[in-house]
Structure 1
Amino acid sequence: MIEPAKRHITLSAAAVLLCVLLLLRLPASAEPLAVEDDIHTLLENSLSIVEIDKEIERIQEQKEQLMLSMNDTERQLALQEQLVSDKQDEAGSVLRAYYTGERDFLFTALLSFDSLSEWFQMMDYAEFILTHDKHTLNTYVEQYRKVKDGYNRLESRNEELKAVERQLLAQRSRVLALEQQLDEQLAGRSDAEKLRLLMNELTSFWESAGIDEVKQYFRALSEAMQKLPGWVQENKQLLEIKGFQYTITVPEKDLNTFLREQNDIFNHFSFQFSDGKVTAQGMRDNMEIRITGHYTVENEPKNSILFHVDELLFNGFTLPDTTRQALEEEFDLGFYPDLIVSFLKANAVSMKDGELTIQLSLKL
Structure 2
Amino acid sequence: MNRNIMAIFLAALLLFNLLQPHRVHAAAMSDEELRILQDSLSIIELDREIARIEVQQEEAHRTAEQLQLELERKNEQIHRSREQAGKRLAAYYMGERESLMAAILSVNSLKDFFAVMDYYQIIAERDRDVLDAYKSEYAGIKATKKKIDNLSVELAGMKENLLKQRARISELQNSVQGVLSASSDPEKLAALIRELGMYWENVGLYEVRRYFRELASAMADFPDFLQEHKESLTSDRSGYTLIVREEDLNSFLHGKSELLKDMSFQFENGLIIAKGKRDSLELQLEGSYSVVNDPENCIKFHVERLIFNGLELPDTTRNELEQDFDLGFYPKKIVPFVEATEAAISEGTLKVKLKLGL
TM-score by length of 1: 0.88
Q: 2:104, 2:113 within 8 Å by CA — same for their partners in 1?
A: yes
Counterpart of 2:192? 198
Counterpart of 1:179? 173
Distance between the aligned counterparts of 1:58 and 1:84, measured in 2? 38
Q: 1:304, 1:336 within 8 Å by CA — same for their partners in 2?
A: yes
Q: 2:219 aligns with which of 214, 218, 225?
A: 225
Q: 1:42, 1:182 within 8 Å by CA — same for their partners in 2?
A: yes
Map Cα deviations across residues 40-89 of structure 1 (whole Å, 9 max, x no partner). 11101110011011111111111111111111011111111122223333
Counterpart of 2:22? 17
Q: 2:285, 2:305 within 8 Å by CA — same for their partners in 1?
A: yes
* Structure 1: 5+ residue stretches without partners: 25-32
Q: How many residue pairs end up in the alignment?
A: 348
Distance between the aligned counterparts of 1:260 and 1:242, measured in 2? 31
Distance between the aligned counterparts of 1:116 and 1:307, measured in 2? 75
Q: 1:292, 1:310 within 8 Å by CA — same for their partners in 2?
A: yes
Change (3 A) 1:8 1:313: farther
Q: 1:229, 1:339 within 8 Å by CA — same for their partners in 2?
A: yes
Distance between the aligned counterparts of 2:44 and 2:130, measured in 1? 60
Identity of counterpart residues, as a percentage?
Answer: 38
Change (3 A) 1:242 1:151: closer
Q: 2:213, 2:325 within 8 Å by CA — same for their partners in 1?
A: yes
Distance between the aligned counterparts of 2:306 and 2:24, measured in 1? 24
> Is structure 2 residue 241 aligned with structure 1 residue 272?
no
Change (3 A) 1:18 1:178: closer
Distance between the aligned counterparts of 2:133 and 2:278, measured in 1? 66
Q: 1:307, 1:333 within 8 Å by CA — same for their partners in 2?
A: yes
Q: 2:46, 2:165 within 8 Å by CA — same for their partners in 1?
A: yes
Q: 2:154 aligns with which of 160, 163, 176?
A: 160
C-alpha displacement of 1:362: 1.9
Distance between the aligned counterparts of 1:49 and 1:98, measured in 2? 70
Map Cα deviations across residues 149-199 of structure 1 (whole Å, 9 max, x no partner). 222221121111111111111111111121122222222434222211111
> Is structure 2 residue 351 aligned with structure 1 residue 357?
yes
C-alpha displacement of 1:7: 8.9
Q: Equivalent residue of 2:243, what SS?
A: strand
Counterpart of 2:207? 213
Distance between the aligned counterparts of 2:205 and 2:53, measured in 1? 19
Q: 1:327 aligns with which of 321, 328, 340?
A: 321
Counterpart of 2:116? 122
C-alpha RMSD of the superposition: 2.4
Change (3 A) 1:18 1:101: closer
Q: What amino acid is aligned across from residue 263 of structure 1 in structure 2?
A: S
Change (3 A) 1:135 1:38: same
Change (3 A) 1:149 1:284: same
Q: What amino acid is aligned across from residue 64 of structure 1 in structure 2?
A: E
* Structure 2: 5+ residue stretches without partners: 1-10
Change (3 A) 1:6 1:280: farther
Q: 2:24, 2:196 within 8 Å by CA — same for their partners in 1?
A: no
Q: Equivalent residue of 1:187, what SS?
A: helix
C-alpha displacement of 1:297: 1.3
Counterpart of 1:241? 235
Counterpart of 1:28? none
TM-score by length of 2: 0.90
Q: 2:24, 2:199 within 8 Å by CA — same for their partners in 1?
A: no
Q: What amino acid is aligned across from residue 80 of structure 1 in structure 2?
A: K
Distance between the aligned counterparts of 1:178 and 1:361, measured in 2? 48
Distance between the aligned counterparts of 2:40 and 2:217, measured in 1? 32
Off by >3 Å, runs of 4+ in structure 1 = 5-11, 18-21
C-alpha displacement of 1:336: 1.4
After alignment, is 157-166 or 137-146 more displaced? 137-146
After alignment, is 131-140 or 249-258 more displaced? 131-140
